[in-house]
Amino acid sequence: MAAIGPRNTKPEMLIRRGLYALGYRYRLHVNGLPGKPDLVFPGRRAAIFVHGCFWHGHDCALFRWPSTRADFWRSKIAGNIARDQRTAAQLLDQGWRVLDVWECTLKGRNRMPVEDVLAGCAAFLEGADLTASIGHNRTVTAGLP
């Protein structure tokens, strides 16, 4: 798992390529913003995070608690969830809008067509909602410290 990087994941690349093809231009992993969002649209004051379901504790079919080192993983996932919440709150305080796109919307048995996911991203970018989520916005809670 150490080889899994935080940038340029397959789900992120699908979103990037699709939005670019739709005519949206963005900046990647902006250092000056909390959490270094995956895609940043400065003119629209919008940030998109493409979250992996395991690493961000998404309550879906792609998430399963590891059977080894249970205490470590529960602490790690709980920390990631808390950091995601803090990051979103900081971005909102700075006047940014935040969209979370969950990995399970792009792969797995409950995936959505890529066109639908991209349409949801475009609707967020064109709209005025402060926060949104593509895929249910529910994280795991059972067994967290």
Cα 88 from Cα 92, distance rounded (Å): 6
CATH 3.40.960.10 fits 14-26+50-134, yes or no: yes
Residues 63 and 54: beta-carbon distance below 8 Å: yes
Over residues 8-65, the pLDDT tens digits come to 889 999 999 999 999 999 999 999 999 999 999 999 999 999 999 998 999 888 888 9
| pTM of full prediction above 0.85 | yes
Over residues 51-100, the pLDDT tens digits come to 999 989 998 888 889 899 989 999 999 999 999 999 999 999 999 999 99
* Domain ranges, ordered by start, for the chain: 14-26+50-134
Residues 23 and 30: beta-carbon distance below 8 Å: no
Task: Give 14's contacts (C-beta < 8 A, 6+ positions apart).
Answer: 106, 114, 117
C-alpha torsion 90→93→95→101, nearest 10: 40
Provide the terminal-to-terminal Cα distance of the chain, rounded to the nearest Å.
22
Core vs surface per residue 86-97: b (16+ CB within 10 A) or e: ebbeebeeeebb
